[in-house]
A = this chain, B = another copy of it.
Amino acid sequence: MTTGRLETFSDGVLAIIITIMVLEMKVPHGAEFGALKPLIPVLLSYVLSFIYLGIYWNNHHHMMHVVHRVSGGVLWANLLLLFWLSLVPFVTGWMGENHFAPAPMALYGVVLLMAAVSYTLLVRATLKVEGPDSLLARAIGLDRKGKLSMLLYVVGIGASFYSSWLSGAMYVTVALIWLIPDRRIERVLGVHPARNQGHVT
């Protein structure tokens, strides 16, 4: 089985998730700028979630780039990841419309944490197929960034009941950590391969 359709389907789902989130920003009734004011927390939530989904797409893109084969386990781990990411618009809307209240902040973190756990499962399922000497194994290494992210999510979930600001700071920090694109894979590859569908090296 090849990665082609896995990528097409994942791209489709990610593209839809990232786009339907904006539907939570309901068109206001007034025609003045003041009418937009209640939408500011919704917009901020949208921006954060957009960045998160961009990061997932980006890393998924990088990972699949060094993957040659997929197994049934990979397909299902990928679906599990997409399931948790599909809940992002819901928690984003809940968080934005309630001005970052404790419960929505905590749930936002839980969904992000579960997505991160699913991503880790996806990496493991892929490594099982690719083997310990594969490009992917070398690229992932100890996965410090992944582990740190999960820790920050847990802190953010716990902090949400004391301070929404602290909780939000945790989630923003994770986003910033990953905004720097995953150079690990680029480093291992050394060069940017030419545009050549089907080739990897």
* A→B interface (CB under 8 Å): 1-9, 11-20, 22-25, 27-28, 31-33, 35-36, 47, 50, 54, 57-58, 61-62, 64-65, 67-72, 75-76, 79, 82-83, 86-87, 89-90, 93-94, 97-98, 101-104, 107, 129, 179-181, 183, 186, 192-198, 200
Do the beta carbons of A103 and B181 come within 8 Å of each other?
Answer: no
A31, B106: Cα distance in complex, Å: 11
Main secondary structure of the interface of A (DSSP, over half): helix
Do the beta carbons of B192 and A1 come within 8 Å of each other?
Answer: yes
Copies of chain A in the complex? 4
Partner of A61, one of B5, B16, B50, B98: B5
Given A27-B90, A195-B67, A195-B200, decide whether A12 and B1 contact each other with a Cβ distance below 8 A.
no
Do the beta carbons of B193 and A1 come within 8 Å of each other?
Answer: yes
Given A2-B196, A104-B31, decide whether A72 and B11 contact each other with a Cβ distance below 8 A.
no
Chain B contacts for A69, CB-based, 8 A: 192-195
Centre residue among A15, A89, A101 by max chain B CB count within 10 A: A15
